[in-house]
Structure 1
């Protein structure tokens, strides 16, 4: 029987040493590419500021290789650890929205995989996860305006334009991050990683399943995603009004300059490639 992550036989939330390795690998890889893109300039489309990163194809390819809850959770944790804590700009309440929305989106999408050998399906589902994340962020941002914790970025005499203003920003991010720097490169990267990364962690590639993509498991996870959106909204609203509850904000980048971004980049690279090197040495013994 193939040795996979524990999600297959011991329960989807169980955690063992293999889940730990997957968690560390996804967290560090996502943190690495997120910080690399922080060094790239922002550009605008029709007056809307658009950031290139993070390069979502890394998460799309790696997370859908393992398809465990812990791999999904590792994506936002990587952003928090390397993109907030290590650069000295962390707010506990402010981090919860991404933690909830990103994890729930990927956890739902990975239940739709029926043929993990098909890069077209993987790329499409990776895009769906990013689209769900941006759609949820759009609803939350608009909701913050209606409860009065965010300034209106709309025509003063027509507040409803906030839906279009925030929606255009979300749509641009879906196209840029979800397609250009997401699904398209993931389509080519995923088949080159499948069957090569898993053995380094002492696992075998996960198999597919029969039946429709949207089965009972997927339905339950979609319901969970919907129910978690108000939770994410409440915590994000509280973060705007309470000062973040627990904060760590020495602002290292402001103090030492952009070159400080290389600190989390180096740490993430050492963690990711160190884990792969260690496991490679173990498999060769």
Structure 2
């Protein structure tokens, strides 16, 4: 068995726990960001894009694929569908881009106690996600399916506007809500949270080359996912969303309805954690499986 396979061996139930925990926690955090106001200083907009440290931490400590996909699905379920908004293929672009970015970030870390590795992975994940989003937006304007939205104080160039937005998101949200919290949490949680899933922390003494981490299969899948994100967004903007739902419960019932989604995500997260703790207690002195 290869080193990569040894590194991420989980039972199906453990994978499901990682998936649901990531889905609920990130869905919860995503709804909380909706309540945080935005601040604009000329062409610079300071807003909390997302609390990326949650999926980043789970991707690094556990299985990067299941944690990444779970987080992306959590945003769709709790941030879109439960609020009566679903953009069809437009949501697929967000799903693929974010899943890809978090998966790559989680795969880059070989030693969770190494803050340098964790920091590089965290900021890389945010940069990949924002880069894909910026390239999609630039492509939509160049192709002509979306008009340029000028920003006061900036040249009327989509490249300049998206470039400033990219730097703003990476340097503000990326550092404050991804890099710093992830660097703080991962080394401290490593070895403590894993037993909740009934598995041992992965061996941080094992070393992997970049070729082992980002092999041909991962690179090919990354390219396919990125291309899929581009195509999905272009189709959505061309009125080919296929499946689209717009009940907009917030407009219908008021801003308080956001708390319904927050409550649902919190409940799922709480139940998941309780199940994890219960499974750990039931295991008792039987020991834990290797992960």
SS of corresponding position for 2:5: coil
- 2:268 paired with 1:278: no
Count of residue correspondences? 275
Q: For residues 5-84 of structure 1, what are the structure 2 equivalents within 5 Å?
A: 8-9=5-6, 16-84=12-80
CA spacing shift, 1:45–1:195, aligned 2, 3 Å: farther
Deviation, structure 1 residue 24:
0.0
* Cross-structure match for 2:288: none
- Structure 1 unmatched ranges of 5 or more: 1-6
- Shift of the 217–60 alpha-carbon distance from structure 1 to 2, 3 Å rule, reads closer
Say whether the 8 Å CA contact 1:76–1:99 is kept in structure 2. yes
Quote the residue 1:183 is aligned against. Answer: 179
TM-score by length of 1: 0.88
Aligned mate of 1:230, from 221, 227, 231: 227
Among candidates 88, 91, 99, match of residue 95 of structure 1: 91
Q: In the alignment, is residue 198 of structure 1 matched against residue 194 of structure 2? A: yes
Match of 1:146 in 2: 142
1:253 matched to which residue of 2?
Answer: 250
Normalized against structure 2, the TM-score is what? 0.86
How far apart, in 1, do the equivalents of 2:176 and 2:183 lie?
11
Task: Write out per-residue CA displacement over residues 20-72 of structure 1, whole angstroms, 9 at most, x where no aligned residue.
Answer: 11000001000011101111111124324342142112222122110331111
* 1:262 equivalent in structure 2: 259
Deviates more, 1:114-123 or 1:258-267: 114-123
| 8 Å CA contact 2:113, 2:186 repeated in 1 | no
**C-alpha distance in structure 2 between counterparts of 1:47 and 1:146, whole Å:** 22
1:241 alignment partner in structure 2:
238
1:163 aligned onto 2:159 = yes
Change (3 A) 1:160 1:67: farther
